[in-house]
Amino acid sequence: HLPDIPGLCGIVPGSIIPGMYGLEAGQSAVGDIFNWFVSHLAPTEYTAKGDPHANLTAEAEKLLPGESGLLALDWNNGNRTILVDPLLTGLLIGQTLHTTAPEIYRALVEATAFGALTIINRFEEYGVKVDEVVNCGGIAEKNPFVMQIYADVCNRPMKISRSAQTCALGAAIFGAVVGGAYKTVEQAQRKMTGTKKKVFRPRKKAAETYAELYALYRKLHDAFGLSNYHDTLYDVMKRLIALRDRVRSSR
């Protein structure tokens, strides 16, 4: 028996595998947030030649966690899980006259990772343990920088599906069962699926820094997303600056 987990889009028996529950949750935007920044705000020095995402990533990955002094909310398209509110919008704090485009780009990536961690934490608050995450799709295939940030933020191993076309593979699995190649979905899964050798594992120091940043993210998340929030945001900017200065001095 599963509890009613608030904020999920659905808890559906047999929605994916017969006899098992599908816990349906997600974010309203991830890659679209990165594309929005590249399309509308990134300077031409990053967009005029080559792949803008690769150009920004090359600079953003040189930064240490917390070094930018920035913190964002990943609500540019509302919040799907756990607040279920399409009227929420994106937010970026900590900007100064010295803030750079790669710093903003990294902060947006980190924000989506914090959003994913919020969903994982909601699962675990209600007894659904999440030990590792298997990623699929374009970002997982193309951007190890993003995957490493997700591993560090979520403090869990990030695996990548062996198939680049997981939706088609899912259809093929059920087709194989219906066609008689396998007796059960689980048997077909064992034979037809897998993960790549490369696993992105959390780095201890980065995970510790991101735990500090996530605490501030949750303050923003709850302040703007919950009507009964009664704490203060007075310390958020100052704590971001203190963390930024501490990280920079450690180089």
Say yes or no to pLDDT of 231 above 80: yes
Task: Output the six-digit token pair for 157.
Answer: 């191993």
Say yes or no to pLDDT of 222 above 80: yes
Residue ranges per domain, the chain?
A: 10-161+196-249
* Residue-wise pLDDT tens digits, 195-217: 999 999 999 999 999 999 999 99
Q: Which CATH number fits domain 10-161+196-249: 3.40.1550.10, 3.40.50.10070, 1.20.1290.10, 3.30.420.40?
A: 3.30.420.40
**Residue of 118, 97, 112, 94 whose CA lies nearest to 37:** 112
Say yes or no to pLDDT of 32 above 80: yes
Sign of CA dihedral 113, 119, 121, 123: negative
The model carries a pTM of 0.95
- Alpha carbons 229 and 102: distance in angstroms, whole number: 32
Say yes or no to pLDDT of 9 above 90: no
**Residue of 99, 43, 48 whose CA lies nearest to 72:** 99
**Residue of 239, 250, 225, 237 whose CA lies nearest to 96:** 237
24 touches 10 (CB < 8 A): yes
91 touches 224 (CB < 8 A): yes
Say yes or no to pLDDT of 159 above 90: yes
Exposure class string for 60-96: b at 16+ Cβ within 10 A, else e: bbebebbbbbbbbbbbbbbbbbbbeeeebebeebbee
The kind and range of the H/E element at 63 are: none
